[in-house]
Chain A
Amino acid sequence: MASRWRWFHQLGSPKWFFEKSSKWLPWIWASTLILLAIGLYYSLWASPIEARQGQGHTVRIMYIHVPAAALSMVGYVVMAIASIIGLVWKMKMAFAASRAIAPIGAAMTFIALFTGAVWGKPTWGTWWEWDARLTSELLLLFLYLGFIALHSSFAERAKADKAASVLAIVGVINVPIIYFSVKWWNTLHQGYSVTQKGALAPEFQVPLFIMIGAFYLLFIGLVIMRLRVEVLIREQKSRWVSDWAASHEPKQMQKRG
């Protein structure tokens, strides 16, 4: 039993994470770059243009829009799960993780909204429509921003962590609403068709999946980078951080010192 949960306990140790993640990062970045290169080539040059709906090249926006939108929701769910873990098991790393995810998730939400607007103009004839999915995605952005605003308004970090976590958990109600909004309300945004059989031709589906994979890796890489900084800030008083800082001091500073 103890060994099965060992990885979980190790994740709770900031030092262990900091040391291990420096070894993970090159692999994550390398695979992100490879997938992004393949995916972007495939989706921006090699894939066919959509002829039936007369969208032409605008269909290529999909390869950014869909992965960003997916990650915006997944990011929020992960943030909420990390918050629950933090509140229930009082795990320091979980709070750090939810703090690290928030700005990246907010950026993904913004990208999804922005590319959606750019895509909507030629296809729907409008930048913005008060459609159920668009509106709930906008609310997701507000929830992310609320989390960041709340977290940065406390003097004590422990209090900020707990308060922002409660907010993240309460706000998670919005995620299923976004996900099912196209099913519940039959408004402008098209229905869910990414993994449905026959809804999307394979020459669109394959590059889209590659791009979704690339975005997941990109997201993980960015979160780990932010989490490393977060760990350094939170653990700045501990011994291993000062040791690490001493060994990574720029050479000029060492000379002066």
Chain B
Amino acid sequence: MFSALLKRELMVARRNWIGIVIPLFFFIMVVSLFPFGVSPEAPVLQKIAPGIIWVAALLSTLLSLEQFYRSDYQDGSLEQTLLIAGPTQVASAKILAHWLLTGLPLVIISPLLGILMQINHGFVESNHTWVLMLSLLLGTPTLCLIGAIGMSLALAANRNGMLVAILVLPLYVPILIFGTSTVTASLENFSYNGQLAILAALLMIALVVSPFAAGRALKISVS
């Protein structure tokens, strides 16, 4: 049942692939605004790079949430899938599809942003890019998991978009803190294993709590 649900999500997304690419472009564009806005000098960019890349990742995850939940809710297919499968299953399929299609591309494209933001400036070895990718790899699933709760709650609300951001952003703060501090520690040649471990721990907690909570929220929204 889960694989059927996942397949459905992926198929819907493939037929509307522009919607998947837009958050990715948003991610790249937001990051590339900062060299114009702040300073194009490499030391400055390198200093602000972790925060900016992470904030952009956070915002683009938020942006793409709408697409994965809103249209299914509006055309009634969410209600139908909830009739044939348990709410936790439906939520997990949505979360996994959301991460595969927006979180994972973000991780893959992040080295490009590392180059844009001069992350390896002044160093011969280029392991910072790997650390950035690793932190995003551990962090973006958590973003999708938490975002799913907020989005599912806000589905039946009169207003949207901004409301989801208000619900979800406070819960995103710990991930942002440890995600950026991982990269910053690496840039300053400190050990970053502790921060990565906490990111992984946050992911584990979210994995346990979020599918259930998001499932309940979906159920409430269609009731």
| Least Cβ–Cβ distance between B152 and chain A, in angstroms | 8
Residues of A60-114 at the interface with B, using a CB-CB cut-off of 8 Å, are 87
Please tell me if the beta carbons of A171 and B163 are within 8 angstroms of each other in the complex. no
Q: What's the dominant secondary structure at chain A's contact region?
A: helix
Please indicate the chain B residues that have their CB under 8 angstroms from the CB of A167 in the complex. Answer: 149-150, 153, 167
Residues of B186-223 at the interface with A, using a CB-CB cut-off of 8 Å, are 209, 213, 216-217, 220-221, 223
Interface check A213, CB cutoff 8 A = no
Please indicate the chain B residues that have their CB under 8 angstroms from the CB of A139 in the complex. Answer: 170, 173
Please tell me if the beta carbons of B154 and A153 are within 8 angstroms of each other in the complex. yes
| Least Cβ–Cβ distance between A101 and chain B, in angstroms | 18
Q: Complex Cα distance A156/B155, Å? A: 13
Interface check A149, CB cutoff 8 A = yes
Residues of A153-175 at the interface with B, using a CB-CB cut-off of 8 Å, are 153-156, 159, 162-164, 166-167, 169-171, 174
Interface check A28, CB cutoff 8 A = no
Complex interface bits, A157-199 against B, C-beta within 8 A gives 1, otherwise 0: 0010011101101110010010000000000000000000000
Please indicate the chain A residues that have their CB under 8 angstroms from the CB of B217 in the complex. Answer: 163, 166
Name the residue on A nearest B216 (C-beta). A166
Out of A150, A153, A171, name the residue touching B170 (CB < 8 Å): A171
Interface check B156, CB cutoff 8 A = yes
Q: What's the dominant secondary structure at chain B's contact region?
A: helix
Which of B163, B167, B171, B209 has most chain A Cβ within 10 Å? B167
Please indicate the chain A residues that have their CB under 8 angstroms from the CB of B156 in the complex. Answer: 154, 156, 159, 163
With contacts A163-B153, A163-B217, A166-B213 taken as known, whether A149 is within 8 angstroms of B171 at the C-beta atoms is: no
With contacts A146-B166, A163-B220, A163-B221 taken as known, whether A154 is within 8 angstroms of B157 at the C-beta atoms is: yes
Please indicate the chain B residues that have their CB under 8 angstroms from the CB of A143 in the complex. Answer: 170
Out of A135, A142, A155, name the residue touching B169 (CB < 8 Å): A142
Please indicate the chain A residues that have their CB under 8 angstroms from the CB of B213 in the complex. Answer: 166, 169-170
Q: Complex Cα distance A169/B156, Å? A: 19
Name the residue on B nearest A132 (C-beta). B177
Please tell me if the beta carbons of A142 and B159 are within 8 angstroms of each other in the complex. no
Please indicate the chain A residues that have their CB under 8 angstroms from the CB of B150 in the complex. Answer: 167
Please tell me if the beta carbons of A159 and B167 are within 8 angstroms of each other in the complex. no
Q: Complex Cα distance A142/B167, Å? A: 8
Please tell me if the beta carbons of A149 and B166 are within 8 angstroms of each other in the complex. yes
Interface check A145, CB cutoff 8 A = yes
Please indicate the chain A residues that have their CB under 8 angstroms from the CB of B221 in the complex. Answer: 159, 163
Please tell me if the beta carbons of A142 and B170 are within 8 angstroms of each other in the complex. yes
Please indicate the chain A residues that have their CB under 8 angstroms from the CB of B169 in the complex. Answer: 142
| Least Cβ–Cβ distance between A109 and chain B, in angstroms | 12
Interface check B158, CB cutoff 8 A = yes
Please tell me if the beta carbons of B157 and A170 are within 8 angstroms of each other in the complex. no
Please tell me if the beta carbons of B149 and A170 are within 8 angstroms of each other in the complex. yes
Q: Complex Cα distance A153/B157, Å? A: 5
| Least Cβ–Cβ distance between A142 and chain B, in angstroms | 4
Please tell me if the beta carbons of B170 and A162 are within 8 angstroms of each other in the complex. no
Q: Complex Cα distance A166/B158, Å? A: 18
Please indicate the chain A residues that have their CB under 8 angstroms from the CB of B216 in the complex. Answer: 87, 166
Please tell me if the beta carbons of B154 and A150 are within 8 angstroms of each other in the complex. yes
Please indicate the chain B residues that have their CB under 8 angstroms from the CB of A135 in the complex. Answer: 173
With contacts A153-B157, A163-B220, A171-B171 taken as known, whether A145 is within 8 angstroms of B166 at the C-beta atoms is: yes
Out of A87, A153, A170, name the residue touching B171 (CB < 8 Å): A170
Name the residue on A nearest B205 (C-beta). A173
Complex interface bits, A117-136 against B, C-beta within 8 A gives 1, otherwise 0: 00000000000000000010
Please indicate the chain B residues that have their CB under 8 angstroms from the CB of A154 in the complex. Answer: 156-158
A sample of 16 inter-chain contacts (CB < 8 A) reads A139-B170, A145-B166, A146-B166, A146-B167, A149-B166, A150-B167, A155-B158, A163-B157, A163-B221, A166-B216, A166-B217, A166-B220, A167-B153, A167-B167, A170-B209, A171-B170
Seen from chain A, the residues whose Cβ lies within 8 Å of a Cβ on chain B are 87, 135, 139, 142-143, 145-146, 149-150, 153-156, 159, 162-164, 166-167, 169-171, 174, 177
Instruction: With A87-B216, A150-B163 given, name 17 new contacts (CB 8 A).
Output: A142-B166, A146-B166, A149-B166, A150-B154, A153-B163, A154-B156, A159-B220, A159-B223, A162-B220, A163-B153, A163-B156, A163-B217, A166-B149, A166-B220, A170-B171, A170-B209, A171-B171
